[in-house]
Amino acid sequence: MNKDRIMELMTRKLSGEATPEELGELQDHLSADAVTGERSKVLDQFWSRRDDETHPSVEENLRKVLTGLGLPGPGMAEVVPIRRKRGWLKVAAAVLILLGGGAAVYLGRQKEMESVPIASLTEKHNAKGTKSIIQLPDGSKIWLNADSKLRYPEVFKGRTREIYLNGEAFFDVAKNPDHPFIIHLANGTVQVLGTSFNIRAYDNESVVETSVATGRIAFIPKYRTLRKKQDTVYLAPDHKASYTFTNEELTTGVTSGKEDKAWTEGKLIFRSMTMEQIAIELERNFGKKVVFLDEGPKAFIFTGSFSNNSLDEIMYYLTRSKDFNYKITNSELLIAADAGELK
């Protein structure tokens, strides 16, 4: 392996100057060296944490970068910026971390954090039909949706603030650049410093979605296929990432951050959703099991918005636009094509 060539390619990549051919060559080098490849992933994942490139002292900027990553500060290691263009301070830090072994220190500490027993965390579990608001010890606020579970420590310790989510939640994270906020999902990770955003990550659904209302976040999907390289997607306001983990497909697009958090205000918004998809939302929000007595109504498509409406009101308006019938009991919502089936 030619480390000088890897250093040059990493420099060009991180400063935004690499050509597609050079990016391909770099990937080949990293694929051939597992250790260096893992270190490069860490750099990619945490790259956006440093915004300060204006200070004239290289060593001071390097120290800030490494501290932000939770790594030891630089000593007398030789750091040579190959190109003194935009981003050269970042490049110098990258070279030091990549070739100096700093990332290995981070990876070791990351594994140590992952070994903390979840049983020692406080757990909040919302049943279907129940929502709640949680105030975390750092001042962050979380709106936890129905049929969702959150695990978090009573007091955050160490250099990161880490919690675990199964379900849907809207986060308003207190800003603290020295202590990144990390949300662990079954099929990915979301990392922020201080911002507001929505995450939908139910264990029994095949898609993880996260969208930004304010600030910026990083979403890192969890791949099960070894041949897949680790991706990090950085999202700005009104943008979202969707990760389908059954086929390991990651997409990004434009969204409405306001609409994505509408559920925190008692609103339900359906955009070209089938009745079968809407039934899942109704079951979670109202706590009644939805039973289709016919297959036909499942395929009906609806677009609409409801604000603090009852289940009966929502169903009444839906049946005004499509020809089907429903019945609400103490525990179930029955849907049928023919009203006779509901007697």
In terms of domains, do 276 and 157 share one? no
Interval 285-301: pLDDT, tens: 999 999 999 999 999 99
158 and 206 both lie in a single domain = yes
- Is 133 in the same domain as 248? yes
Is residue 243 located within the same domain as residue 316? no
232/172 same-domain check = yes
Task: Say whether 336 sits in a helix, a strand or coil.
Answer: strand
Structural domain of 296: 266-342
Average pLDDT, the chain: 78
- 189 with 81, same domain: the answer is no
Asked if residue 283 and residue 243 are part of one domain, the reply reads: no
Number of domains in the chain: 3
Collapsed DSSP state (helix, strand, coil) of residue 77: coil
- 215 shares its domain with 312: no
Evaluate if pTM is beyond 0.85.
Answer: no
Could you say which of 227, 260, 293 is where a domain stops?
260
Is the sign of the CA dihedral 103, 140, 281, 333 positive or negative? positive
Amino acid sitting at position 266 = G
Q: pLDDT for 168-209, tens place per residue? A: 999 999 998 888 999 999 999 999 977 999 999 999 899 999
Give the tens place of pLDDT for each residue, 29-81.
777 776 666 656 655 554 444 444 443 343 444 444 444 444 444 333 333 33
138: closest CA among 178, 190, 184, 197?
Answer: 178
